[in-house]
Each structure stands twice: as C-alpha cells, then as structure tokens.
Structure 1
Amino acid sequence: MGQSKKELFITHLFDAPRELVFNAWTDPEQLKHWYAPDGCTIEFKYINVKEGGTFHSCIHDPIHGDCWIKGVYDQVIFPEKLVFSMILTNENGESIASVAAGKPEDWPEETITTVTFTSIGNQTKLAIHQTVSEEDAKQTGAYQSWIKMFNKLNDLIAIKK
C-alpha cells in the first residue's frame, strides 16, 4: 500500500465578520452570485440549509456542460462550521459514475466537504477540507475553482459590509 494522497485543504482570509461569511454559504440568494467557477452559473433545484437538509444543484459550464450535484447537510453550526456531502448525479438526482460526470475514474462518487469559519479580529479565516485528492482536484480544475469562487465571495462581501 502506497501513501494515501493528500486531500484537498484550502484556507482563505476574508475581510469581514464570520457571520457575514457564514451567511454567504447558507443563503441561496447569495450562493447564486458566487458559488460557481468563473464563466459558469449555478442553479438550485432545491436547497434547505439545516442539519439533515438536502440540496440538488447544477453548475452550468458553457465549455464542459452541466454538472449536477446533490448532498445532505450533516452539520450546520452557525457561524462556525458546515459539513455536507456532495454526490455526482444526473438532472433527476440519480447518482452517476464519476467518469459519466466528466471526472477522473478514481474521483469519489461522494465527497464530504467541511468548512470552518474562525474569527480573527474583524476578519474570518475560512478553511475548506474535501475528501478528494488535492492532486486530482488541481488536475480537474476543482481546486482552482474554489480559489476563484472565494475571490467572487470577497467581492460580494465587500458590497454587503
């Protein structure tokens, strides 16, 4: 057995109180404005941000096509932590193989995303951990997409402050 691959872990400092940043992750209206990579849009068939709540979303990518994802919120602790699953699906919400969704063969069909929000003065340190290999995330562009989405969120928060 070789060494297990390093999982995706990114931190980002937002110039805003953590309640503002946390709300941007849980308010569907705000999510629509930043929770998709550059050039893409996101649509929610449904979203219910509470423990045990579910979502089904689609990122519309003009180059790579649609990417449907559903998941369950395992933890919603205002304003400290979010834990949710992300499962690749089709438009009907049926699970599909990672290859069918345009991901590498060894991409997990379900990932767990943990987001923590830590106050540092008037700023918020956000840390995101995903149960997917960082190397695969960089090759597919998922890693870079998080960075770009955080930049969009910076802009959104600057307007709200």
Structure 2
Amino acid sequence: MNETTITAQPDTPFIEVVREFDAPRERVFRAWTDPVLVPQWLGPRGMTMKLFEFDATPGGSYHYIHADERGEYGFRGVFHNVVPDELIIQTFEYEGAPNQVSLETLRFEDLGGGRTRVHGRTVYTTVENRDAMVASGMEHGVRDSMERLDEVLAR
C-alpha cells in the first residue's frame, strides 16, 4: 500500500507531500492535468466538486468548488509552468482566506516498473499561514485525495 507523507517543519513556511503510485508517470501526470479526471479524485470523500475552469497550461488557470452539507469551499489558481510528465508549478488560493496565495511545485518522478513518485512542495507567505492551512484539516483532504487518485489510476 502506498503511503502519503506530509511534512511541515517547525519555523518554515513549507508543506511537503510525497506519494508513490502504482502507475506510469504519464498516467499520473494526466490525472493531475485532465479536467475530466481531476474531479474524480481531488478533494475529501463525501464532497462534490464543481469545476468551473481548468486549463493546465502555462498561464492557464483553475477554479473549483467543493461542497457538502456544511457548505461550499472555493479554490482557484494559475498554472505558471507545466512540463508534461515532469513538473507543475501553480498558485493556490482558498477563497475563504483571500489574498493568502501559496505557490505549489509538483515533480513527477519515474521510479521504473510502472511506478511514479510525486513530490509536492507548497510555499506559504508566512509560517502562520502555513499553520492555519494545517489546522484547517488539509491533511485529511490530501490523504483522501491520494487514496481516491489510486482508485482512478487502477481503472
């Protein structure tokens, strides 16, 4: 079973997420960039996703809402660099905390044998903003998303 490692070192404005997948790098990258596939795995279980915009190209943007019985939670960002099968650099903003934009870098590593490691690093403007994201329950959402992505990749 693949484990998700989430690290937030004290006194740094970073969160790092590492996950291995039993799928070739091209398939994992496609799941991360295809607007048909993204709603099938991104977000916690029990929430629906409404995708308004998703253009995973340099300069493209995304906007979506996760919803459940408690309410709606909107997210948006801009893709700054997209190198097929290798790299995504994008901004991320939770609409409930406007003007707290983070920068995410995702690297896709071919491990051979049809396996891929994704290494993500999110940089926040302050340690306090990073800690607020951790306190929001993001770890639960990340772990659910990675498990759901495993299920999508298995199909």
Does TM, normalized by the shorter one, top 0.5? yes
Match of 1:27 in 2: 34
Deviations 1:49-95 (CA, angstroms, capped at 9, x unpaired): 100001111111323x1111221100110000111111233xxxxxx
User: Quick one: distance in 1 between partners of 2:110 and 2:117?
Assistant: 6
- Give the TM-score taking structure 2 as reference length: 0.83
User: Quick one: distance in 1 between partners of 2:69 and 2:27?
Assistant: 30
Structure 2: 5+ residue stretches without partners: 1-9
Match of 1:40 in 2: 47
Percent identity for Structure 1 against Structure 2: 23
User: Quick one: distance in 2 between partners of 1:69 and 1:138?
Assistant: 16
Verify the 8 A CA contact 2:13 2:123 in the aligned structure 1.
Answer: no
User: Quick one: distance in 1 between partners of 2:14 and 2:139?
Assistant: 11
Tell me by how many angstroms 1:23 deviates: 0.2
Match of 2:115 in 1: 123
User: Quick one: distance in 1 between partners of 2:63 and 2:29?
Assistant: 20
Verify the 8 A CA contact 1:138 1:144 in the aligned structure 2.
Answer: no
Verify the 8 A CA contact 1:72 1:84 in the aligned structure 2.
Answer: yes
Match of 2:84 in 1: 78
Q: Partner letter of residue 138 of structure 2?
A: A
Structure 1: 5+ residue stretches without partners: 90-96, 102-107
User: Quick one: distance in 2 between partners of 1:35 and 1:140?
Assistant: 17
Verify the 8 A CA contact 2:78 2:92 in the aligned structure 1.
Answer: yes
What is the alpha-carbon root mean square deviation over aligned residues? 1.9
User: Quick one: distance in 1 between partners of 2:142 and 2:88?
Assistant: 16
Q: Partner letter of residue 19 of structure 1?
A: E
Query: What is the 5 A alignment of 1:80-95?
Result: 80-89=86-95
- Give the TM-score taking structure 1 as reference length: 0.80
Task: Give the direction of change, closer, same or farther, for the CA distance of 1:61–1:5 in structure 2 (3 Å limit).
Answer: farther
Query: What is the 5 A alignment of 1:80-159?
Result: 80-89=86-95, 98=97, 109-121=100-112, 122-132=114-124, 135-159=131-155
Task: Give the direction of change, closer, same or farther, for the CA distance of 1:45–1:118 in structure 2 (3 Å limit).
Answer: same
**Structure 1 range deviating more: 131-140 or 48-57:** 131-140
